[in-house]
Amino acid sequence: MHQPPSARAMLAKIAMLAIVDAVAVFAMTILFFQESWLVLGILVLTTLLVNIIYLSPGMLPAKYLTPGLVFLAVFQIFVVLYSCYIAFTNYGDGHNSTKDDAIAALVSQNTERIEGSPVYQVQMVEAPGGLGLLATAPDGTVLIGTADDALEPADPAAVTMEGARATALEGWTSLSTQDILQRQQEITALQVPLDDELSNGFLRTTNAVQAFVFQSNFVYDAAADTMTDTSTDTVYRDLGNGQFETEDGQALGTGWQILVGFENFLYPFQNPKYGEALLGVTLWTFSFAILSVAVTFVLGLFLALTLNDPRMRSRKVYRVLSILPYAFPSFLSALVWLGLLNTEFGFVNEVLFGSADIPWLTEPWLAKFSVLLVNVWLGFPYMFLICMGALQSIPEELTEAATVDGASGWQVFSSIKFPLLLVSTAPLLISSFAFNFNNFNTIYLLTRGGPRMAGVEENVGHTDLLITLVYKTAFEAGTRDYGLASALSIIIFLIVATVSFVAFSRTKALEELN
Radius of gyration of the chain measured on its C-alpha atoms:
33
Q: Are the C-beta atoms of 136 and 180 separated by less than 8 Å?
A: no
> What are the φ and ψ backbone dihedral angles of 261, each rounded to 5 degrees?
65, -135
Dihedral class, residue 130 (left if φ above 0, else alpha if ψ from -120 to 50, else beta) = left
Q: What is the reported pLDDT for 104?
A: 86
Cα(204)–Cα(148) distance, integer angstroms: 14
Distances (CA, A) of 469 to 85, 279, 280, 476: 20, 12, 12, 10
Cα(227)–Cα(244) distance, integer angstroms: 7
Q: Are the C-beta atoms of 303 and 322 separated by less than 8 Å?
A: yes
Distances (CA, A) of 148 to 50, 105, 169, 255, 303: 38, 11, 18, 19, 66
Q: Order the strands of the 244-245 sheet from edge to edge.
A: 218-221, 226-229, 234-238, 244-245
List CB contacts of 285: < 8 A, sequence separation 6 or more.
437, 465, 466
Pick from 72, 90, 94: which is nearest to 81 by CA? 72
Tell me whether the omega of the peptide bond preceding residue 451 falls within 30 degrees of 0, making it cis: yes
Burial-class residue 363 by CB neighbours within 10 Å (0-12, 13-18, 19+).
middle
Cα(163)–Cα(327) distance, integer angstroms: 71
Q: What is the reported pLDDT for 200?
A: 85
Indicate the angle between helix axes 482-513 and 78-87, nearest 10 degrees: 130
SS (H, E, C) 100-150: HHHHHHHHHHCEEECCCCCCEEEEEEEECCEEEEEEECCCCCEEEEECCCC
**Cross-strand pairs, 132:** 125, 146
Residue-level pLDDT, tens digit, the chain, 514 residues: 455 667 777 788 888 889 989 999 999 999 888 888 888 999 999 999 999 888 888 788 888 888 899 889 888 888 889 999 999 999 998 898 899 889 888 888 888 888 888 899 999 999 877 899 999 999 999 999 998 889 999 999 999 999 889 999 999 999 998 999 999 999 998 999 998 888 888 999 988 999 999 998 898 988 899 999 988 889 999 999 999 999 888 898 889 999 999 999 999 989 999 999 999 999 999 999 999 999 999 999 998 888 877 777 777 787 777 878 877 888 888 899 999 999 888 999 999 888 888 999 999 999 999 999 999 999 999 998 888 888 888 888 887 787 887 778 788 788 888 888 888 888 888 889 989 999 999 999 999 998 999 888 888 999 999 999 999 999 886 678 999 999 999 988 888 888 888 877 776 655 554 5
Q: What is the reported pLDDT for 1?
A: 47
List CB contacts of 495: < 8 A, sequence separation 6 or more.
437, 466
CA torsion sign for 347, 353, 359, 364 is: negative
Q: Are the C-beta atoms of 153 and 143 separated by less than 8 Å?
A: yes
Q: What is the reported pLDDT for 405?
A: 77
List CB contacts of 2: < 8 A, sequence separation 6 or more.
57, 58
**Cross-strand pairs, 226:** 221, 237
Q: Determine which helix (DSSP H) or strand (DSSP E) holds 264, and give its type and residue range.
A: helix 263-270
List CB contacts of 363: < 8 A, sequence separation 6 or more.
451
Q: Indicate yes or no: pTM above 0.85.
A: no
Burial-class residue 289 by CB neighbours within 10 Å (0-12, 13-18, 19+).
buried
Burial-class residue 162 by CB neighbours within 10 Å (0-12, 13-18, 19+).
exposed
Q: Are the C-beta atoms of 488 and 466 separated by less than 8 Å?
A: yes
Cα(338)–Cα(357) distance, integer angstroms: 15
Q: Are the C-beta atoms of 291 and 372 separated by less than 8 Å?
A: yes
String of DSSP letters for 53-87: HHHSS--HHHHHHHHHHHHHIIIIIHHHHHHHHHH
3-state secondary structure of 360: coil
> What are the φ and ψ backbone dihedral angles of 94, each rounded to 5 degrees?
85, -5
Task: Provide the residue type at 182 as one letter.
Answer: Q
Burial-class residue 13 by CB neighbours within 10 Å (0-12, 13-18, 19+).
middle
